[in-house]
């Protein structure tokens, strides 16, 4: 890593806390006192992502997305190998969507209030009745018009290779009954690998696939749908992100 990139990575890391607080405060003020539009307030998280990518020298390009209807809700499904995934998607995807976050995050002062202000969706990751109810509530929110982004691998890939998809996100998609949009995150692992704090910079390409319907899929089909989604995401990835067994 060059000295300049080291400084840019360090500056991006140090910028995250104050910038996040500033964005949360701006969102709360905008929704409550100014434009009072949760959709328009998404410009603040978008600015957060773009600014952090610029500081960290992460250059983002979006390919595809022409088939998306701005008026329809979707569930975006992507691979996950870096915190840069969140920065890039937040900054460069124009479709109105919300993040799903574990319910504990909504208890954090300022941060949690900011997420509530723009209708981010809480989810209970424990087991039992409350977890099932939170899943049903999230599915209803999506069905009523809230697009979301999900990472079915469950956690960031340590080596950048696509991991098997878990069925929790798939069950949410089946319950919501909206179309799924595969997304391939390319280059984010190289820019900011899991376990590293400083960005290495570089080009990131977000490839947006065509929407696929969930009509006809039932709970018993969750494994089949998870495998199909993984294939659709894999088709949008550079070879370096594919599992070794799938490389040509």
What are the tens digits of pLDDT across the range 194-210? 989 999 999 999 999 99
pLDDT of res. 244: 61
- CB-based contact 206:63 (threshold 8 Å): yes
Q: Whole-model pTM?
A: 0.90
Range of the domain at 91: 3-246
pLDDT of res. 13: 94
Overall number of domains in the chain: 1
């Amino acid at each position: 890593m060059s000295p300049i990139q080291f400084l840019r990575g360090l500056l991006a890391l140090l910028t995250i806390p104050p910038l996040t607080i500033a964005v949360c405060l701006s969102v709360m003020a905008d929704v409550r006192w100014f434009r009072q539009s949760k959709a328009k307030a998404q410009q603040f998280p978008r600015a957060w992502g773009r600014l952090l990518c610029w500081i960290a020298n992460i250059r983002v390009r979006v390919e595809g997305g022409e088939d998306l209807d701005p008026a329809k809700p979707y569930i975006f499904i992507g691979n996950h190998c870096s915190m840069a995934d969140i920065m890039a998607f937040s900054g460069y995807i124009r479709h109105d969507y919300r993040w799903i976050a574990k319910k504990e995050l909504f208890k954090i002062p300022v941060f949690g209030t900011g997420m509530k202000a723009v209708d981010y969706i809480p989810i209970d990751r424990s087991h039992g009745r409350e977890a099932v109810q939170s899943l049903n509530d999230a599915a209803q929110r999506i069905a009523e018009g809230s697009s979301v982004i999900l990472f079915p691998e469950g956690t960031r890939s340590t080596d950048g290779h696509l991991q098997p998809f878990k069925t929790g996100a798939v069950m949410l998609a089946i319950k919501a009954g909206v179309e799924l949009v595969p997304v391939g995150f390319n280059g984010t692992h190289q820019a900011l690998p899991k376990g590293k704090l400083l960005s290495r910079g570089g080009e990131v390409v977000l490839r947006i696939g065509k929407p696929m319907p969930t009509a006809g899929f039932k709970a018993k089909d969750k494994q089949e749908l998870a495998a199909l989604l993984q294939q659709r995401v894999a088709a949008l990835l550079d070879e370096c992100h594919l599992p070794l067994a799938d490389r040509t």
